Structure 1
């Protein structure tokens, strides 16, 4: 019986590449996005998150095998907080009960190597505490200076998301239920989200000075999709709570021995 997977952010970028890859392999995929998807839902609102879960339950018949939480924003605005952290957590937690009937339930989240960059400690703390109103207020303050403090918003959401995965993966609800929960942290990927940053050779060179990718440079979405597909495959029985950097070497260059 083909596996049934749910992918948020399925209409473009990494989510679209993952959807196409899984379908080529014979899986059934329920795509979720703001448009051009089997389930249309807005992860920036509580209503949209609830509608996502309800719609997937109906479309899937109440049983799925894997969740790919890919949807995200990278704009210096509170909406990035709403989608990247609270939308991701609510959707993956809301869909978790639908994994119960699978012989090989799996879940994976897309974080980012941006979690290694400068972030806002106050916003990260509010996200980690799950205080959405206060986190949105803090993001609003940071967004007043979009070219400086506003740039801390995206990285902060990815720091908090990586922490959430690390804290939740080994708990009874996830590992205890036989569900590997992990995350990937891409470097610079050629998607609509990064199009304006890599439009010219000069822009690409400038970005790669900040995000060094010595192994093959900027990647196509399929590179991340292949890793996501393996993490959520039946083959992955023991990888738990890992943030896997698929970044052409950025993590190794920027952190070196520091994590060891």
Structure 2
């Protein structure tokens, strides 16, 4: 049966890598992002818009109907990151963080869930972070939003397990994406910051978006049919413990 995936944040980073992974597998993709599609493909539909806006999801529904596609998979990788402590960040930065990272997730689920319930089949993969359960200095808003994603994932999984819908969260470590490069650019010494992040990871490097996409593809597949309400950490061992080779605590 031909499958269709809706992917937020699909223009770059983990979202784009996931879209490419699904397209290679022959899965139709509806990408949702603020920027245009990364390429043209008969199996790639696109909605350019803000994931926190209702009109964006109206357009997604219309695109699915126009193409006569049913949403089998949802991947929510759109994210917003503001650097600063609780006193530094403005109300607008807090609102942007919550709107994209949490409200955008809720609206995405509301868009595709009725179809999944009707067909008694579906897989939802939310994209959290190691910051979903670990704090990181200067990322209080981001950490707060990502922590909420874990509880949303668990609750959604419980609510709809008997509807045939699986819901899981992948929690990436430090991944070489535009979002991380934005974070890197705010450091007083970006080169030193990058080197530190690489050295603190037991595998000695940043993760690649394609590695996270592979994890997402597994969770979305029937091979993960027994997994729901779970958090899969893909961080190169960063949160495993103390790495004596570098003398640095992993985090």
Kindly indicate whether the alpha-carbon contact (under 8 Å) linking 2:197 and 2:206 is maintained by their aligned counterparts in 1: no
> What runs of 5+ residues in structure 2 fail to find an aligned partner?
38-45, 84-92, 243-251
Kindly indicate whether the alpha-carbon contact (under 8 Å) linking 1:187 and 1:213 is maintained by their aligned counterparts in 2: no
> Which residue is 1:193 aligned to?
179
Cα distance change, pair 55–72 in 1 and its aligned pair in 2 (3 A): farther
> Which residue is 1:82 aligned to?
99
CA distance in 2, matches of 1:227, 1:88: 19
Superposition TM-score, scaled by structure 2 size? 0.79
Give the secondary structure class of the aligned counterpart of 1:250: coil
CA distance in 2, matches of 1:104, 1:234: 11
Kindly indicate whether the alpha-carbon contact (under 8 Å) linking 2:125 and 2:170 is maintained by their aligned counterparts in 1: yes
> Which residue is 2:166 aligned to?
180
Cα distance change, pair 101–63 in 1 and its aligned pair in 2 (3 A): farther
> Which residue is 1:139 aligned to?
none
Give the secondary structure class of the aligned counterpart of 1:181: strand
> Which residue is 2:216 aligned to?
228
CA distance in 2, matches of 1:196, 1:106: 30
> Which residue is 2:228 aligned to?
240
Q: Which of 31, 49, 64 is the aligned partner of 2:71?
A: 64
**Could you tell me how far 1:73 is from its partner in structure 2?**
1.0
CA distance in 2, matches of 1:216, 1:36: 34
Larger CA deviation: 17-26 vs 213-222 = 213-222
Kindly indicate whether the alpha-carbon contact (under 8 Å) linking 2:33 and 2:48 is maintained by their aligned counterparts in 1: yes
Q: Which of 101, 105, 109 is the aligned partner of 1:92?
A: 109
> What runs of 5+ residues in structure 1 fail to find an aligned partner?
120-146, 255-260
Superposition TM-score, scaled by structure 1 size? 0.76
Structure 1 ranges of 4+ moved more than 6 A: none
> Which residue is 2:12 aligned to?
12
Cα distance change, pair 52–159 in 1 and its aligned pair in 2 (3 A): farther
> Which residue is 1:125 aligned to?
none
Give the secondary structure class of the aligned counterpart of 1:155: helix
Give the secondary structure class of the aligned counterpart of 1:193: helix
CA distance in 1, matches of 2:134, 2:59: 31
Q: How does 1:163-178 map to 2 (within 5 A)?
A: 163-171=151-159, 174-178=160-164
Counting matched residue pairs gives 220
> Which residue is 2:122 aligned to?
105
**Could you tell me how far 1:216 is from its partner in structure 2?**
4.4
Kindly indicate whether the alpha-carbon contact (under 8 Å) linking 1:63 and 1:102 is maintained by their aligned counterparts in 2: no
Kindly indicate whether the alpha-carbon contact (under 8 Å) linking 2:47 and 2:60 is maintained by their aligned counterparts in 1: no
Cα distance change, pair 248–42 in 1 and its aligned pair in 2 (3 A): same
**Could you tell me how far 1:28 is from its partner in structure 2?**
1.0
